Every structure is written in C-alpha cells, then in structure tokens.
A and B are shown apart, each in its own frame.
Chain A
Amino acid sequence: MQVLVHHDGSRREVFVTDKEVPFPEGKLIVSRTNKHGVITHGNQSFVEMSGFTEDELIGHSHHILRHPDMPKAAFKDLWDTLARGEKWSGYVKNLRKDGAYYWVLATVVANVRQGEVVGYTSVRRKPSRQRIAECIEQYQQLCAQEVS
C-alpha cells in the first residue's frame, strides 16, 4: 500500500503493483467530468482499463485513477492550462483498481456551451514507448522534489 496526497491535502491509501496493462490498440479512452472534476461519463475502454465498474466511477472524482508515481506538478499544470482556456496534453500513468497501471497520452479540453465551461472531456490514446521512458525519469525527479 502507498499513501497518495492530493492537491487539496486529502490523503488516501492505494494498492500498487508493478504490473503494466497495455493500452488497447486502435481505441481511445474517453471520459467526461463536470467542472469540478467529478466523472459524469466514460466509454467502454475507460471502464475496462480502470478495472472499476461504471457505477464505481460515475460520480467519483477523477483522481480515483491517480497513480502515486505521478507528480502533483503534472496535475497542477493541467488545471492551470485549462484555467487559461487552453487544451492540455501530457503523458499520464494511471492506477487501476487492481493496483496495476497503464500509460496514456491524455488530452483534456473544456466543454464550452453558450460561452460557459460546463465540464471537461479527456481523451487518452496509445503513447509512444520512447516518450514514456523520458517521462518515467522526469516524473521520478519531480516526485522526489515534491517530497523533499
């Protein structure tokens, strides 16, 4: 078990293994949240890859998928970018319910309706192995800095 500290200071224990689940070829993992980051919709790939049931995901904060190897700085950058009205893209290591993980290249856009942000759409696609290797090193450094 590892302890995960979220950006709002809340903590939770998560079960983590070193098993990687490969990204499903040709598919996209798609989910939507309301403007507070609470999951409102997920496609079949989103549910399957998470290891949770749809009922366990809908209505829950998106950080249910947060892996402890992901630096807080990455998510701060995500929210800062979205707050500027821009699209965010980055490599993310996600945590499954069974403790395994999967890497994605995630892109998040705001859902703007009648000029108002009503939520966010996150689309994840298969990432390049080379970019993952670069991110592993970079994220380890960022996590170490955040602890110290």
Chain B
Amino acid sequence: MKPYTMTVSPDFMPDYIAGWYIFNTWLQRQLGENIHLELYNDFATQREAIGRDEIDLIYANPFDAAMLVREKGFIAIAAPLDKPDEVVLSVPVDSPIKTLDDLKSGTRIARTDDPDVNLIGMMMIEAADLNADNTDVQMVDSYVLVAKALFQERADLGFFLQEAYHSLSDFVKNQLRVLLSSEIHVVKHVLLASPNFVAHQETLKACLLDMPNRDKGQGVLDSMGLSGWQEQTQEDTEFMIDLMDTLV
C-alpha cells in the first residue's frame, strides 16, 4: 500500500529539519502507518504538490490553511503550543527610521517568500501609507539574507518571522534594530489532515495532545523546537482563515 505523505511549511527553521524526520519516524510507530516525509524548498512547489492531491498531512502556514481547508477539505488536527506567528519589522541599527511614521514612499523592503509574514508585514506598514505600489520589495531566500540586506544597507526595512529574528546570531542582531513587533496571537501554523487520512484523525489528535507523556515524545518535540501541541478545532481554523481574509 502506498504510504501517506506528510509535508511541512517551507518556512520552518533549518535547525529543525532533522527534528521533523525524527517526528515522522515517531509518528509512524505511534499510528502503525507508513508515512513519507516530503520537504519542499519553497511555497510554490509545495502548493503544486497540494494541487495534485499528493499531500495527506501538512504542518501548514496559516496563509495556505484557507486553500487547504476550504478548497481541499483538509481537517484541523492540532496547533503548536504557545507559538503564534508574529512578525518583526527591523531596520539597520543606525537607521534614521525610529517609528513607523518615519517610513516614506520608496522604502526598500527585504523579505522572504513566507506568505503570512509578508501579509502581516505589509498590513503593519499600511498605517504609514505604504503598499506594494510605492515600495521596492526584494525577495530573498532566507531570513539570514534579509538581515544581510539590512546591514549591508541594500534595504531599509526587513520582514522577519519573530522566531527567525530571535534565532539570528548576536553578531547579526547587534547590527539591527526592532522597529515594531506584531502582537496578533491568533495566527499560527496548524497541522491539517486530508480527507484521505480521515480514518486516523482521532488517533492522530490523541497522540499529539499526549505527546509529552508518550515514549520519547518530549525529546522529539524538543528536536522540532516545539513545547507541545494544543487542540485546534475546525472552528478555530475557520476563524483564523476569516481573520487572514480581512488582511488580504
């Protein structure tokens, strides 16, 4: 029988790649099912695989949750405990930009392809009358490269996932300054299961919620940079999708 396929939103921290493979091995033992972990380098490639109905389990970026739930019929299983997706707007440490109102038309923005970070970041600068039409956006491959664009003064403003910003080295962070951090709280990654996985949904949910108490569970969580899972109801996810819809 063909194994199920699990994938992870490409914005996970590189330090945790091994952790996701360890999680996959642990999960297969818990469920007694064959699961293949497929990681994609970027969101576009992952969305193509979703479009071909090749994915059964996904740790999804909240931006993609709308398409997965409302178009593909995925069901919410769990969300990482105490890990909302917050955004840091950062500037070079010596930048004359001290507040959001100092941002002017023509601001050069460095960012990755992370869709929820970009959505929230653009929403935050909208208050300074900035938008896609009056800013110069440079897309780079990683948050380290966003930081590099800032301290090499090729960009005036950088968008970071908060977790990624705080994982930068002290050397890099010392050359940057936080202009503003979001405090939205309810936007988060979510583990979703496809309709093909329906027979295992409840077992999977029970397994994740009890993960710290199960054999090797806490160690696996540590390797993924998670403290645990919390239940994510379908309505929780629908609410998050409605909220994201207001920001588009």
Interface residues of A (CB under 8 A from B): 23-28, 30, 32, 43, 87, 105, 107-109, 111, 113, 121-123, 125-131
Contact = CB atoms under 8 A, between A and B. Distances in A.
Contact of B184 (A28, A32, A87, A108): A28
Contact of B238 (A26, A111, A130): A111
Contact of A126 (B127, B185, B239, B243): B127
Contact of A123 (B127, B183, B246): B246
A59 B242 CA distance: 21
A127 B128 CA distance: 8
Nearest to B248: A87
Interface residues of B, number: 23
A121 B244 CA distance: 11
B100 A121 contact: no
Q: State the majority secondary structure of interface residues on B.
A: helix
A130 B155 CA distance: 25
A121 B242 contact: yes
Contacts of B246: 87, 107-109, 121-123
Given A125-B123, A125-B127, A109 B245 contact: yes
B126 A123 contact: no
Given A113-B238, A125-B127, A126-B127, A27 B247 contact: no
B186 interface: yes
A109 B185 CA distance: 19
B129 interface: yes
B204 interface: no
A125 B186 contact: no
Given A87-B245, A128-B126, A43 B238 contact: no
Best-surrounded residue of A25, A32, A43, A127 (most CB of chain B within 10 A): A25
Closest 7 CB pairs of A and B: A107-B246, A126-B127, A123-B246, A121-B242, A128-B129, A26-B182, A27-B183
B129 A123 contact: no
A125 B186 CA distance: 15
A26 B180 contact: yes
B91 interface: no
